[in-house]
Amino acid sequence: MSPFLIIVVAICVLKNSVAVRIDVDTSQARDLENLGKQIKSTLERWYPYLSDQLYSSTYEDVQVIPLYFDPSYEGVAYAKGRRIVGAVDYYRKNSKDIGSMIHEMVHVIQQYRGAPVWLGEGIADYYRYYHYEDRRLTKPTKDNKHTDGYGTTAFFLNWVDQNKQKIGGRSMIYWLNKDAREGKYTDNIWPKLLGQTVQQVWQEMMQKA
């Protein structure tokens, strides 16, 4: 493929995306400055791709995402509105876990209204593991459910993306994301678009994956 064609393809694929600036604040953890620079570079590089992947007609692009490393927070990271917070202690011990920040940036992009938690967390982990990390997760067990969220739901969504028909040229993930952003998501979208309830799709996945 010629360099010109590569550029044309990239422009077409990312037609709905714009650049973002990540403002990293490590003032309370100076030893994380280099990691902060690495995270800033990674998130700014991945934002156009992820915002394009998660685009729908009501999406509002984000120009700046503040990212603060909080020494008092005892978790991993979280997103609130258009701001990301990372736990100082966690990233001191897990400096290679940039995927967790990709997960949080997906939440900033999602802008969901009233969507179930399992769906938002599942889509965030889907883009973290299957796009950013290019990692294949372990199949859920019989004790798992599609509503478990995170990696369990990410595995399920990836199977749906790979094995179910496209609707209007779009994958099921597009339509789930669109309805969640518009505050319209209900489980009725599954039989409406795929002819099966979400529980039936889950059972099919468990049998065939």
Give the pLDDT confidence of 87-146 residue by residue, as tens digits: 999 999 999 999 999 999 999 999 999 999 999 999 999 999 999 999 999 999 999 999
pLDDT > 70 fraction of the chain, expressed in percent and rounded: 92
Last residue of a domain, one of 52, 84, 110: 110
Q: Which amino acid is at 106?
A: V
- Tell me, yes or no, whether 129 and 57 share the same domain: no
**pLDDT band for position 17 (cuts 50, 70, 90):** low
Identify whether 127 is part of a domain.
Answer: yes
- Tell me, yes or no, whether 94 and 132 share the same domain: no
Identify whether 2 is part of a domain.
Answer: no
Last residue of a domain, one of 92, 110, 128: 110
CA distance 6 to 114: 39
Identify whether 44 is part of a domain.
Answer: yes
Indicate whether this model's pTM tops 0.85: yes
- Tell me, yes or no, whether 22 and 99 share the same domain: yes
What's the total number of domains in the chain?
Answer: 2
Q: What residues contact residue 156 under an 8 Å CB cut-off, 6+ apart?
A: 122, 140, 146, 201, 202, 205
Question: Model confidence over 85-98: pLDDT tens digits?
Answer: 999 999 999 999 99
Domain that holds residue 163: 117-208
**pLDDT band for position 15 (cuts 50, 70, 90):** low
- Tell me, yes or no, whether 90 and 129 share the same domain: no
- pLDDT for 113: 97
